[in-house]
Amino acid sequence: MKRLFIAAAIALLSAGSSLAETIKVGVTPGEHAEIMEKVKDVAAKKGLDIEILEFSDYVVPNQALADGDLQANSFQHQPYLDNQVADRGFDIVSVGTTITTPMGVYSKKVKSLDELKDGASVAIPNDPTNGGRALLVLASKGLIKVKPEAGLKVTPNDITENPKNIQFSELDAAQLPRSLDDVDAAVINTNYAMEAGLHPKTDAIAIEGEKSPYANVIAVRRADKDAPWVKTLVESYHDASIRSFITDKFKGALIPSW
């Protein structure tokens, strides 16, 4: 009887020691949330329990991570993270890439950039990195020219040629799909476009090229970057099943970046 009791106690201790570690991961709605749900399933088999929290904008998830309300986030590309670290002093680092989401130009009024009339209104994101990215997309399509030395941080002040006298409106990235009734065109991040029912491959009148420095990343606090759960999280995201899910679900609108 005593042996049975000891065996049961050992079993309980073993079960307790194998309980999954729980982390909170911040994402934005849409593809980042959908993919993380699949990652959660993979991670659970590796002993890591992921609690997913959705944020409606690009600002709060990094603040929440820096404050310790999250252990990781997965919603932003590297240039945006770099800008946030420089501007806000966050001690946050990327630990793995996720997806590349090509930025698109959308319109309810024209079917190509060539159809934009003189003085047309074009809305772009109002944060520096995504606003710059939008301008670079337009420059790559020949609509405008910008100062090469501005690099990825180009602003409307860096436009050197604007033959159609385009009027730029800088809006919160999440609001851009709603602006399409009021502007001639808008340059929209893929997650917000898809959330609004717009598909980059079929609905955009112009789209960013495949060679882009804007790969999205998983970010954590620097103090946690070597933690075992970080390795598990990245390995779970880079699982072959996640690549297949992205390819099958999003039909080329998103590109795995690992």
- Per 3-state DSSP, the chain is made up of helix, strand and coil in percentages (nearest 5) of 45, 25, 30
| pLDDT, the chain, mean | 91
What CATH code would you report for 104-207?
Answer: 3.40.190.10
Length of the chain: 258
Mean pLDDT, residues 103-119:
97
Task: Please tell me the class of the 21-101+214-256 domain.
Answer: alpha beta
Domain map (residue ranges) of the chain: 21-101+214-256, 104-207
Judge residue 167's burial from the number of C-beta atoms within 10 Å of its C-beta, 0-12 exposed, 13-18 middle, 19 or more buried.
middle
Instruction: Check whether 11 has a pLDDT greater than 90.
Output: no
Express as a percent the part of the chain with pLDDT over 70.
93
In this structure, the number of other CB atoms found within 10 A of the CB of residue 2 comes to: 6
Q: 61 or 255, which is more confident?
A: 61
CA distance 50 to 233: 9
pLDDT value at position 19? 57
CB 186 within 8 A of CB 127: no
Check for a shared fold between 21-101+214-256 and 104-207.
yes
236/234 Cα distance (integer angstroms): 5
pLDDT at 23 over 90: yes
| Tens digit of each residue's pLDDT (9 = 90 or more) over 155-184 | 999 999 999 999 999 999 999 999 999 999
Structure confidence at residue 6 (pLDDT)? 42
DSSP string over 113-133:
GGGPPTT-EEEEESSHHHHHH
Dump pLDDT digits (tens) for 44-91: 999 999 999 999 988 899 999 999 999 999 999 999 999 999 999 999
Whole-structure pTM over 0.75, yes or no?
A: yes
